[in-house]
A and B are shown apart, each in its own frame.
Chain A
Amino acid sequence: AQSVSQHNHHVILSEAASLELGCNYSYGGTVNLFWYVQYPGQHLQLLLKYFSGDPLVKGIKGFEAEFIKSKFSFNLRKPSVQWSDTAEYFCAVKSRNNNDMRFGAGTRLTVKP
């Protein structure tokens, strides 16, 4: 089965700072890649996803992620964070061959107003 590593456990930024959260995965086959967000007290929601085509994908709320196949990475970025981006962010990998989907341990983002 595939596995996912998220490098940052807790990131603290000031508003307007730029954000990059790392995600690496290990899997021998073709995958789909996702970033989910969990706001305090809420359930997991999809932020963005990559299936094929342009490796730079744009999601909701100004987030984007770039798939670099050679590095097995799918890092999440946002040019200017807001206080409302405070949440937990999870990278996930899904095998194209089946419905097996695995999550990373998550990165907690705290944005100071």
Chain B
Amino acid sequence: GAGVSQTPSNKVTEKGKYVELRCDPISGHTALYWYRQSLGQGPEFLIYFQGTGAADDSGLPNDRFFAVRPEGSVSTLKIQRTERGDSAVYLCASTNGGGGGTGELFFGEGSRLTVL
């Protein structure tokens, strides 16, 4: 597509439920990032993929969070046993820069998650 697409744009769920957030990057972009942005804060790094593999998942807050990118394109962020503190906007971005690349990140509109 023309840009990074994220679905759903809004998700309201109850504490303890399982949530999946999807990201469809710009076609041909090899690197894909997930960030989390809370109100009044900058994007907090979660994980990034180079191709199908997670190159760095050090930002995932705990083992309730998991992300996959099985075919090197679409990625899904999965959150188990959601907690109220997980409420935030989850941002996806992609770039065509490889290792050492200088490509800027192109961001999606984000998925706003609200955990009641």
A74 beta carbon closer than 8 Å to chain B? no
Q: Is A98 a contact of B110 with CB atoms below 8 Å?
A: no
Contact (Cβ within 8 A) A49 B104: yes
* Size class of the contact patch on chain A: 20 to 34
A4-B42, A90-B43, A98-B100 given; 19 more Cβ-contact pairs under 8 Å: A1-B45, A32-B102, A34-B105, A36-B107, A43-B107, A44-B43, A46-B104, A49-B102, A90-B42, A96-B100, A97-B100, A98-B56, A99-B97, A99-B101, A100-B56, A101-B105, A103-B35, A103-B44, A108-B40
**Max count, chain B CB within 10 A of own CB: residue among A90, A92, A100:** A100
Interfacial chain A residues near B12, Cβ < 8 Å: none
Tell me whether B43 and A103 are in contact (CB under 8 A).
yes
Residues of A with C-beta under 8 A to B48: 99-101
CA distance A92 to B102 in the complex (A): 13
Count of B interface residues, CB-CB < 8 Å: 29
Residues of A contacting B1 in the complex (Cβ-Cβ under 8 angstroms): none
Quick check: is A77 within 8 A (CB to CB) of the other chain?
no
Kindly state whether residue B33 has any CB partner on chain A within 8 Å: yes
Report the minimum CB–CB distance from A44 to chain B (whole Å).
4
Seen from chain B, the residues whose Cβ lies within 8 Å of a Cβ on chain A are 31, 33, 35, 40-45, 48, 50, 55-56, 58, 91, 93, 95, 97-102, 104-105, 107-110
The secondary-structure label for the interface of chain B is loop
Contact A105 B110 (CB under 8 A): no
In contact, A34 and B104 (Cβ under 8 angstroms) = yes
Given contacts A43-B107, A90-B42, contact A101 B91 (CB under 8 A): no
Contact A43 B110 (CB under 8 A): yes
Per-residue interface assignment for chain A, residues 3 to 15, with 1 indicating a CB less than 8 Å from any chain B CB and 0 otherwise: 0101000000000
Complex contact A106–B42 (CB within 8 A): yes
Chain A neighbourhood of B43, CB < 8 A = 44, 90, 103
Q: Which of B45, B58, B98 has the most CB of A within 10 A?
A: B45
Query: Is A78 part of the contact surface with B, judged by Cβ < 8 Å?
Result: no
| Complex CA distance for A56 and B63, rounded to whole angstroms | 43
